[in-house]
Structure 1
Amino acid sequence: MSGVTQVNDRGSGAPPTAAVLDRERLRELFDLRSSYNARSGGDYEDDPNPVWRELRERGPVHEGIVHELTGYDRPAMFQGLPYPDRPHFSVFSFDVCDQVFRDNETFASSPQAVDPTGGQIGASSSMLSMGGAQHRRYRALVQPSFVPARGPWWITNWIEETVHALIDRFAGDGAAELNVDFCAAIPVLTITSSFGVAVEEALHIREVLNDPPEVIRMLAPIVAARREAPQDDLISVLVQAEITDEEGVRHQLSDHEIYTFAILLLLAGSGTTWKQMGITLTALLRRPEVLEAVRADRSLLRPAVEESVRWSPTDPMFARFATRDVELGGLRIPRGSVVHLCLGAANRDPARWDRPDEFDIHRPMKRSLGFGSGAHVCLGMHVARAEITVGIGALLDRLPNLRLDPAAEPPRLIGMYERGATEIPVLFDR
């Protein structure tokens, strides 16, 4: 069973479709301090925001790479890195980051054209790296399952069951650790379940994302079965997806493209949503009066999530590639340069928000860059919001007097290019 034990749904008599996952494997995959996450700067434990504020005050754009400008002196990999032979520039203001996101012709998402129908399967050949008409066609094929109207489909089919089965494990204990044991498990189980992957294999498929042949081995039988007999799941939607472009050409997704999208969704979805949920919980639990306000008025949960995405986005940097010589923020950017967008700094720009360093769920709602911007705005942001709001709402419903454990070390936000919380130890009344 690969470290998985089945548990029953909340006394409903439903079949045991959720899983208790091996905690040690969860920790290895999802603790930012583990060796699995070290390559993205998971061992960075300082608060980067004071440095980013100083850089932004000195100018919107700086020559150099975000982590090096921040003072992190170890190698760190993320989108747009390493490319040692290219000039690198980093952007720290909201307006200039938004400008780059919205100008796809000048600032491409990939240094070269992407062939999604052949070659290597992975994020580098996914729609994350596409541009122009190619990106629009591909996104149109996969987007229908991720629009706001499909939120109830995700919640009813996978999110609610996963959330409550996880809470069942500790609801009678009076204590729990919520970051790895709860937040990390929700997205990976939601996504793999939507694929039709058995819960016993949920962590394995997440673990082997850098081994595309192994991912294909696991997904190929499911894709083949859904082409023969579609069901009510995401793979079935993808194999049936079809659009006709402006020239009257009909487009469908090949198996190759479905595998590539599945890898992207697992990397992006299970790699970001759990961290943002942990950041949101940390912000609320460290402010008990705000947590109580949300508990009393659940309409405040959505603005709390949006403020979390602004205040501390999980992926605080993305990169673009300059396709021509251009001036940006007063600096000349040569063609071929990598332009790093420091979203963490942009989301605290005082030119856009008053008191930007404060976590304030009552501030006037303004669009942040936590889910990106422009044509490549996060495809799964509505599913991510659903997972976070359902997850935290269920905790407030089922764990009376939820609070941080005063005898344990309080959670801290860590990480350079992937930011998230350390352990979130809590107590509650049984």
Structure 2
Amino acid sequence: MTTTHLLDRDRVRRLFDLRSSYNAIAGGDYTDDPYPAWRRLREQAPVHEGTVHELTGYQGQASFHGLPEPDRPHFSTFSFAVCDEAYRNEELFSSSTSLGLEGDVGVGASLLTMGGNRHRRYRALVQPSFVPAKAKWWISRYIEETVQLLIDSFVDDGRAELNVDFCAAIPVLTITSSFGVPVEEALDIREALHQPAKVIQHLAPIVAARREQPQDDLISILVEAEVTDEDGVRHRLTDAEIYTFAVLLLLAGSGTTWKQMGITLTALLTRPEVLAAVREDRSLLRPAIEEAVRWTPTDPMFSRWVTEDVDFHGVHLPRGSVLHLCIGAANRDPARWDRPDEFDLHRPMKRSLGFGGGPHICLGMHVARAEMAVGIGALLDRLPNLRLDPDAAPPRLIGMYERGATEIPVLFG
């Protein structure tokens, strides 16, 4: 990898600040705490008619997974048990309105929108690269170097802004590096994720080169992968299928982990005694990350499409309607956790829905955990007396369908 000074910091801020116009579509201008409203909704009924943002009181036209789709009936649920049930019942609650169209490129034709056997076959192609045992490969080849270079850029300053200048850069550089994309092109790809043709311009020469001479990277894995179709015939992935995998991994890898890392750092830095405990005993870093994923998941809602008429927890859901799973509220369900609104480092660990659930549970969750653990651990190793800057505004958690921190200004030394 070359040096991270090739990243344009102003451009990083525009792409990764939730308040920017680039992120406004998902409700980046929402600055209230949604959890009191979600608690009331969860207490009132298992399933409500309406979308999560409408029921929360957000007046904007936020778009996200399953939204806006104005011609469909919309329903939302806020409890752990009901969200978990919907995640597990793939036949009744589909991950999309269709299985994707062959030849399409983008999230609409990706693993997110596949179901049944097709989803299992395609997921199996890349799953081995994202299992826990593979985390060392990611750390040694991509994550560790990225983290250390970023810290090198501010370690002598005595101060830094960690959310955008650190957290946001780690995942996008990790994923693009694993594709063989030069650092100077990383932000071009991130900005073009909703314009697949532009992404292809960057990836096409890499895919062609890996077909000629594979290397130890993700594009090579996709180039050499074989999938068995419905007729039992094995074939290599087409270029379009490789591009679609790449877009999904880039979108997920560079769009969620940075926000979750910022949320975790905010939870620690605003609780100095907890931060001190983690610094002293690094075995507490993993529970801190898991608790942050439970306490405030960065994407607090995902949707499922109802495949047939059904009476579901007292509400009739017509075929073709959308059921929104508010996993943010589900992760604070008192039926599953004591004192769920508290960030508790020593909470007995239980499975949350922060990484989703069912067949579509987050493919890259182990890589995300590794990025957060390596990143936060390196900050604690290299920045003595790390603390919030008392003269700057403290970080706040904002956003509707993409939750994250504002600036995280810190001092150290």
Task: Quote the residue 2:193 is aligned against.
Answer: 209
State the shift of 1:249 in Å.
Answer: 2.9
State the shift of 1:340 in Å.
Answer: 0.2
Name the SS of the counterpart of 1:230 in structure 2: coil
Q: Return the match for 1:382 from 366, 376, 384.
A: 366
Q: How many pairs align?
A: 413
Task: Supply the distance in 2 between the matched residues of 1:380 and 1:253 (Cα, whole angstroms).
Answer: 20
Task: Supply the distance in 2 between the matched residues of 1:368 and 1:97 (Cα, whole angstroms).
Answer: 11
2:50 is equivalent to residue 70 of structure 1: no
Task: Quote the residue 1:9 is aligned against.
Answer: none
Kindly report structure 1 stretches of 4+ aligned residues shifted beyond 3 Å: 15-20, 243-248
State the shift of 1:245 in Å.
Answer: 7.0
Question: What amino acid is aligned across from residue 241 of structure 2 in structure 1?
Answer: E
Judging changes above 3 Å, is the alpha-carbon distance between structure 1 residues 201 and 16 closer, same or farther for their aligned structure 2 residues?
closer
Name the SS of the counterpart of 2:153 in structure 1: helix
Task: Quote the residue 2:35 is aligned against.
Answer: 49
Question: What amino acid is aligned across from residue 113 of structure 1 in structure 2?
Answer: L
8 Å contact from structure 1 (residues 316, 418) kept in 2: yes
Task: Quote the residue 2:93 is aligned against.
Answer: 107
Name the SS of the counterpart of 2:305 in structure 1: strand
Name the SS of the counterpart of 1:320 in structure 2: strand
Task: Supply the distance in 1 between the matched residues of 2:94 and 2:408 (Cα, whole angstroms).
Answer: 38
State the shift of 1:209 in Å.
Answer: 1.2
Task: Quote the residue 2:347 is aligned against.
Answer: 363
Within a 5 Å distance, the mapping from 1:157-176 to structure 2 comes to: 157-176=141-160
Let me know the Cα RMSD of the aligned residues.
1.2
Judging changes above 3 Å, is the alpha-carbon distance between structure 1 residues 414 and 319 closer, same or farther for their aligned structure 2 residues?
same
Task: Supply the distance in 1 between the matched residues of 2:19 and 2:74 (Cα, whole angstroms).
Answer: 27
Q: Return the match for 1:230 from 202, 214, 224.
A: 214
State the shift of 1:251 in Å.
Answer: 3.9
Task: Quote the residue 2:167 is aligned against.
Answer: 183
Within a 5 Å distance, the mapping from 1:264-303 to structure 2 comes to: 264-303=248-287
Task: Quote the residue 2:331 is aligned against.
Answer: 347
Name the SS of the counterpart of 1:305 in structure 2: helix
Question: What amino acid is aligned across from residue 109 of structure 1 in structure 2?
Answer: S
For residues 112-168 of structure 1, give each alpha carbon's deviation from its aligned partner in whole angstroms, at most 9, with x where no partner exists.
2312x31x3110110100100110111011211111111000000000000000000
Task: Quote the residue 1:89 is aligned against.
Answer: 75
2:299 is equivalent to residue 315 of structure 1: yes
2:220 is equivalent to residue 220 of structure 1: no
8 Å contact from structure 1 (residues 18, 161) kept in 2: no
Task: Quote the residue 1:4 is aligned against.
Answer: none
8 Å contact from structure 1 (residues 141, 252) kept in 2: no
8 Å contact from structure 2 (residues 98, 114) kept in 1: no
For residues 234-270 of structure 1, give each alpha carbon's deviation from its aligned partner in whole angstroms, at most 9, with x where no partner exists.
1011111125579643243211011011111111110
Task: Supply the distance in 2 between the matched residues of 1:403 and 1:252 (Cα, whole angstroms).
Answer: 51
Task: Quote the residue 1:5 is aligned against.
Answer: none
Task: Supply the distance in 2 between the matched residues of 1:129 and 1:16 (Cα, whole angstroms).
Answer: 35
Name the SS of the counterpart of 1:202 in structure 2: helix
Task: Quote the residue 2:133 is aligned against.
Answer: 149
Task: Quote the residue 1:31 is aligned against.
Answer: 17
For residues 254-306 of structure 1, give each alpha carbon's deviation from its aligned partner in whole angstroms, at most 9, with x where no partner exists.
11011011111111110000000000000000000000000011110001000
Task: Supply the distance in 2 between the matched residues of 1:74 and 1:304 (Cα, whole angstroms).
Answer: 33
For residues 162-189 of structure 1, give each alpha carbon's deviation from its aligned partner in whole angstroms, at most 9, with x where no partner exists.
0000000110111000000000000000
> TM-score w.r.t. structure 1 length?
0.94
Task: Supply the distance in 2 between the matched residues of 1:245 and 1:294 (Cα, whole angstroms).
Answer: 48
Q: Return the match for 1:194 from 134, 153, 178.
A: 178
Task: Quote the residue 1:420 is aligned against.
Answer: 404
Task: Supply the distance in 2 between the matched residues of 1:353 and 1:214 (Cα, whole angstroms).
Answer: 45
| Structure 1: runs of 5+ lacking an equivalent | 1-14
Task: Supply the distance in 1 between the matched residues of 2:141 and 2:262 (Cα, whole angstroms).
Answer: 23
Name the SS of the counterpart of 1:332 in structure 2: strand
State the shift of 1:18 in Å.
Answer: 4.2
8 Å contact from structure 1 (residues 141, 253) kept in 2: no
Task: Supply the distance in 2 between the matched residues of 1:188 and 1:224 (Cα, whole angstroms).
Answer: 22
For residues 26-60 of structure 1, give each alpha carbon's deviation from its aligned partner in whole angstroms, at most 9, with x where no partner exists.
01100000000001000000000000000000011
Task: Supply the distance in 1 between the matched residues of 2:235 and 2:47 (Cα, whole angstroms).
Answer: 40
State the shift of 1:232 in Å.
Answer: 1.1
| Structure 2: runs of 5+ lacking an equivalent | none
State the shift of 1:221 in Å.
Answer: 0.4
Question: What amino acid is aligned across from residue 315 of structure 2 in structure 1?
Answer: L
Name the SS of the counterpart of 1:150 in structure 2: helix
2:233 is equivalent to residue 249 of structure 1: yes
Task: Supply the distance in 2 between the matched residues of 1:245 and 1:224 (Cα, whole angstroms).
Answer: 23
